[in-house]
Structure 1
């Protein structure tokens, strides 16, 4: 089968990714073989590819070299075969979920990370959902605990996670303000943000406005700066924001938020997204009800995965980048 292949870690996609013919994966008892129709790129794609910051290698992606053939993870496709212990899926089912090495014609997927594809989405749209959608859902629902009538600020509202977070916060009844650049303001309004702040012209933490929940998905603003945008009992959820550090890569800011939280009235923290089928089903329900929809910026063929990652690294993405296979 055709697959993107990576033999070593490296920060430049053009240097470490190539298209090759490899063997079709063999599934285990609790796995499903999926004929991949589409996959997607997110910031985590680069981390898995680069092996940075270094703790990601200890998380199971390979210490000295990549454990999986390629860094693709989100996918949508058709079930080709099921393992002997699998129930609930059969060949021909249209599915979406999370795997390893999804930049390929076939991928093996655990059933606890797989769900029926939303009926109203194409495969390309569905592939844009899993990782970014799960992160946004858990940030809004579980950690931000957004409730109807609350004022919600989303920093990095135009990105892959941000575009889902805006819509999910609206679905939970929040009054949403999105923070983005001038060029992306119209796109953030188009997905339902009640207000948009252009960070190149305004400081969202100028003390004039306060929010019940702040989701910091993009940028590297200090925790003290983000706290100025919160109400006295508000909740800060740090979802993203990175540095070039090889050891921590911005994780130190997350740790400072956790350490400070017990000593202030505001709730400050971060989280690691849980990849699970139950929340994929929640996203499916939200999508099929018309409350959220993936925002797809560009689509690339399998042979141009490196170009898609480069486009994301250049910071121009509005929503998600999809790979068609």
Structure 2
């Protein structure tokens, strides 16, 4: 297995595509985005190994975000490669218009529900439109959690890790004498993947993501090969760190409500993240919503229409902790 680093102008850092080419089949996990520079980089990396797009037999996608699946259709058009993705993301990857219309409609409903100011909505929609392009979309084969795929001497097992995206999935494999996982965006070495805004189709996004992280802790993999940047040598430790990060963020949400009183999601987002630009106009309130929804289900926060407030007694408990956190049942 070889890691191919592909440029990405976004904050997450360079994308990774993973190449298996030592046996009779040529297999990729993720493809990078659809930009011409990315295609050139992937073609050059394959050419260095005396391969081309037409040699690829199978592609496994971690999820629908364009920086992970953008070239899948072009590669399939040249090679006839079979493209696999989780069933929850299959329609988006195939470019199904109804699925995309439903996504856009739900986003716009959330913009209003979160209290996103109209000028910010306009900036965000323009940013999203600028990122749209006509791209070759693949025909996909859908998989589910627990499915296994074998090629040459490698077996991949699907681990569904919804949260950041509805169909986000990792692939477990035995590599170099240890148990490894191709973690996509479920586990990243620097950034924490956005929950709530990155895929508004996901119900209870934070709860689902926390369960996925706990699964990584319990699996105790020897190494994670993430969707961005360098490999992670202690995946369980990184997963625990992200769990702690989200607990700390929930405390910050409670503190914001304690100081500001009843307010909407956008107000909480502004307190957490300040002024937002570009795609972060979506990600900031989305993340805030994920935490507010999680705390509401825990009974710590009460929602009234589009506003949230602390449940009775929570403000007193916050004051009594004197800066010490109590168990938020993470």
Say yes or no: TM over 0.5: no
TM-score range, shorter chain: under 0.3
Larger Rg: 2
Structure in which a larger fraction of residues adopt helix: 2
TM-score (norm: length of structure 2): 0.26
> TM-score when scaled to structure 1?
0.26
Task: Answer 1 or 2: higher relative contact order, Cα 8 Å, separation at least 6.
Answer: 1
Which structure has more strand as a fraction of its residues? 1
